[in-house]
Structure 1
Amino acid sequence: PAVEICQKMHNENQYDREKLEKAKKEIYRSGFYTGEMNTTCGKYAGMKVEQAKDKIKEDLIQQKKADIMYEPSGKVVCRCLTPSIVKIVKNQWFIKYGDLQWKEKAHNAVEKMIFYPDVVRKQFHYVVDWLNDWACTREFGLGTHLPWDEKWVIESLSDSTIYMAFYTFYHLIREVDPEKLTDDIFDYILMGKDIADDLAKKGIPVPILEKARKEFEYWYPFTIRTSGKDLVQNHLTFCIFNHVALFEQEKWPQGFAVNGWVLMDMQRMSTSRGVSLLLREALDKYGADVCRITLMYGGEGVDDSNWDTVFADGIAAKLEAWRTFSKENYNRGRTEKKYIDRWFESVVHTALVDVTEAYQQMNFRTAIQKGFFDLQRYLKWYLRRCDTPHREVITHFIQIQTLVLTPIVPHFCEEIWEELGNEAFISQAHWVYPDKEKIDETVLQVEQFVEDLISDLLEIVKVAHLEKAEKAYIYTAEPWKWEVIDLVRGERDTGNAMKKAMQSETVRQHGKEASKFIPKVVKERIFPPKISEKEVIEEAKDFISQEVGLTIQVDADYDPQNKRKVAVPGKPGIYIE
């Protein structure tokens, strides 16, 4: 194998250390996971290397021919920066996470859970597999004493793995004398054991315990728990193990959200380098809502979130601009409906589909992008297209935009909501779900055509240096080209497309031109929506002219460069002079 890997990696001499290191890692990896012990290995012959390694180790230790030596993976330093000496602790207590039946239940729980993002599910399965006996105690420090051996303290990663259950009734049992909080009480509340009479005899107020039991039953299991990605390999997986050990399946965790760490301007925070920002400092400088939106826009999923100072400095002005617009335009505008109003409603409710999904998946950066920046971009286009907005449409949009922002900047949105005349809190309002009936795909495609046409005109002016031009002639595709597209729409085989299209007498009349156009349609996937491009351009002519600074002529007889011939559906020919 060593010869083969060296040949494969073109290792020509022993001095190429980098290639040799890669080769060593590859051969060790493949040998360990796929290799088998050969016939010279006695009773281990035929055994997988991965399994044989543990078996040989076990046999040698049992025969007193080997012993275990512990070595840390690296230098151990305390949080106070004091170098630490590793000590082997005698009579240590372990939790047997290596138990195979226990692992099977944990895997079952992981498979049923919802993860945000789902990519971490694989990592949880991996951790469940490799976890073995875990040292769960230490001899000093803050923490809970081990109930059956109080000289030990439960170490922090092993502690507090089912404290979410305690949250549900802590406010009630605070009234009970701590000395009376025995295991029996928790057996009654958490496990449902029928021991209320016995507890009453001990002077414990059973009505409080009954209420605590109802609270636990109502709130548990927890729907989601959010924590850092560094705890997947221990604390969060312990949480799963301990829940499946203690509770019936209906009380197992339903979901975890795992997030990354926080960077500052794409750098790891470091007080020594001056790259740091305390939360209280950020709150004093920016306020809670700006801090919230900056942090949520900084990243999502397991990616590290970036505190962007430039974003934080500028977002307050954008939010204030929205507040001003809302107050000035709420319940104001024209009453007659225009085509562009349908487009605006369509694009807003299309965005709401994505925003709702983003919130449900806890993808807050996406929710902000789709639910604020994209919606504001659509609003600007809408106002450019119609000058004065439609009263009902703009009022509904102001409500939608404010509601969509509420989970991110709640205090700011509460103020707007009140200023708009609402008496109830916006935090108590219902979520605004997308109305599919208001989404008109044809209208969306028509407006996209107009936007693309404007972009093409501006690009031609820029590239051809036609800043002093006065007129733009726009030529829509000839009818026979639309017929070709109708006949071959969706086709991927050029031969089949040729056969289908050439069945039309109209298409055959264009001979060589058609034989060149049909393969182009298939190869470039030219399948635009069927719209009357001439009518669309005529309707939007004044707006297009205003945007590009040119007089617009549509399908004029004047065609000095024969641009009509190059026009294809979805991409009109353009001549500027």
Structure 2
Amino acid sequence: MTYLKGFTDGTMIVGEFRGRKVQEAKPLIKTKLLEEGTAVLYSEPEKKVMSRSGDECVVALTDQWCITYGETEWKQKAVKCLSGMNAFSAETRNGFEHTLGWLNQWACSRSFGLGTRIPWDEQFLVESLSDSTLYMAYYTVSHLLQNGNMYGKDISSIRPEEMTDEVWDYVFCDGPAPKSDIPSALFNKLKQEFEYWYPFDIRVSGKDLIQNHLTFCIYNHTALLPEHHWPRGFCCNGHLMLNSEKMSKSTGNFLTLEAAIKKYSSDATRFALADAVDGMDDANFVTETANSAVMRLTKEISWMEEVVAAESKLRAGAPTTYADRVFANEMNIAIKETEKSYSFSCSEMP
């Protein structure tokens, strides 16, 4: 408390900055010491950082490439893009607005690991959060370049070297059609597929990526693509827990979607996921809910089989009684509410 008050309210009483507020004098003293050569700049983490190998991490001052997010004209485009997007929740939109407010230069390169090399300086790789911000566009033509194989093990008649920057500009950025050895029918098909499928209507991702990766996605789309191809929606969610505990392979508290379906069936798994949560809070998959759903579904099937077996004894025809009309109305309400929830990407009914 004393240190804080001294910084915010204190006044220098000696030296050339006498009479100045401490918070005003501090940067001036820093500049003076650097100019005199009696101080050096250095960086350190806010707290102790340990690597996975158990080593203590230090800050290395190295050459770095940065992207100037926050540049005035570019930021205006990003803000315009967000204003026309469906964020599906006020919390998500507020997160994007806050990030657009502070995001400035971002170091986009690294010198090790897997990734794409920076074309003009191949000693560096594009770091992971800055990479893959436009890959959704590739989805629209991947089947033509990978011979229909989603894993990329096959190639089509289009050779990789034929996909030049000029070809990509034509396909994605409304650039002029370049001369190419790609067969004209296939060449035009690339453009047609992209124009048909883009822009994407919704991207579902984690809430922790709003402050970097997803905002980069907005920026990069507005920088490279015309406005009619800008993103239309982001739906962000929390992390998935299992029985109120964080999922972890090391502790054994872990369940894959495939394993859940095999154990509980796809329908019971849907019940448990729908009951987990909506919005940006962390979802909680409860195994007891899945087990209960199995029992309820089994009972429901048995009842349906009994009804079908007794069909000849049931009254047929259009609804005639008050109870018939009430039942039909309740079913119609459920259908409308379900449609509304789907339109907002909600799994829970209002």
- TM-score where L is the length of structure 2: 0.81
3-state SS of 1:98 partner? coil
Number of aligned residue pairs: 324
Pairing partner for 1:205 from 174, 177, 183 = 183
CA offset digits 1:515-574 (Å, max 9, x no partner): xxxxxxxxxxxxxxxxxxxxxxxxxxxxxxxxxxxxxxxxxxxxxxxxxxxxxxxxxxxx
Following superposition of structure 1 onto structure 2, how do residues 141-540 of structure 1 map, counting pairs within 5 Å?
141-174=113-146, 175=156, 176-196=158-178, 198-199=179-180, 203-329=181-307, 333-335=314-316, 337-364=320-347, 366-367=348-349
Where does the alignment leave 5 or more consecutive residues of structure 2 unmatched?
10-16, 147-155
Aligned to 2:14: none
Cα drift, residue 90 of structure 1: 2.2
How far apart are 1:320 and its partner, in Å? 2.4
Question: How far off is 1:134 after superposition?
Answer: 0.8
Contact 1:173 1:209 in 2 (8 A): no
Distance 1:217 1:286 in 2: 41
The residue that corresponds to 1:15 in the other structure is none
Alpha-carbon spacing, 1:63–1:318, altered in 2? closer, same or farther (3 Å): same
CA contact (8 A) 1:173 1:212 kept: no
For residues 380-430 of structure 1, give each alpha carbon's deviation from its aligned partner in whole angstroms, at most 9, with x where no partner exists: xxxxxxxxxxxxxxxxxxxxxxxxxxxxxxxxxxxxxxxxxxxxxxxxxxx
Secondary structure of 1:319's counterpart equals helix
RMSD: 3.3
Cα pair 1:139 1:153 within 8 Å, conserved: yes
> How far apart are 1:55 and its partner, in Å?
8.8
Task: Check 1:96–1:317 CA distance in 2 against 1; reply closer, same or farther (3 A cut).
Answer: same
Q: Cα gap change, 1:215/1:130 in structure 2, threshold over 3 Å: closer, same or farther?
A: same
Contact 2:66 2:108 in 1 (8 A): yes
Q: Deviations over 1:278-323 (max 9, x none)?
A: 4443333223333333223211110111010110111012122223
Q: Say yes or no: does 1:83 pair with 2:17.
A: no
CA distance in 1, matches of 2:220, 2:68: 11
Tell me what 2:92 maps to: 120
Alignment CA distance shift 1:113-1:63 (3 Å): farther
1:145–1:139 distance in 2 versus 1, CA, 3 Å: same
Q: Which runs of 5+ in 1 are unaligned?
A: 1-19, 33-41, 371-577
Structure 1: 4+ residue segments shifted above 4 A: 52-68, 271-274
2:82 to 110, 113, 121: 110
CA distance in 2, matches of 1:280, 1:53: 62
Conservation of the 8 A alpha-carbon contact between 1:116 and 1:257: yes
Question: Are the equivalent residues in 2 in contact too, given 1:191–1:247 (CA < 8 A)?
Answer: yes
* In 1: Cα distance, 2:291 partner to 2:25 partner: 58
Q: Please report how far the alpha carbon of residue 250 of structure 1 lies from its aligned counterpart in structure 2 after TM superposition.
A: 0.9
Question: Over residues 86-111 of structure 1, what are the superposed CA-to-partner deviations in whole Å (9 max), with x where a residue is unaligned?
Answer: 34252211111131221121111111
**If each structure's helix is expressed as a fraction of its own residues, which one has the higher value?**
1
Name the structure 2 match of 1:98.
Answer: 70
Cα separation, 1, equivalents of 2:208 and 2:25: 29
One-letter code of the match for 1:350?
I
- Determine the C-alpha separation between the residues in 1 that align with 2:77 and 2:33: 31
| Identical counterparts, % of pairs | 37
- Tell me: higher relative CO, structure 1 or 2? Use CA pairs within 8 A at least 6 residues apart: 2
Structure label with greater radius of gyration? 1
Amino acid in the other structure paired with 1:173? L
Measure the CA separation in 1 of the matches of 2:36 and 2:260: 61
- SS of 2:235 mapped into structure 1: strand
Give the deviation of 1:273 after TM superposition.
Answer: 4.3
CA distance in 1 between partners of 2:67 and 2:250 (Å): 39
State the Cα distance separating 1:62 from its structure 2 match: 8.8
The residue type paired with residue 208 of structure 2 is: D
3-state SS of 2:87 partner: strand
How far is the alpha carbon of 1:53 from its aligned partner? 10
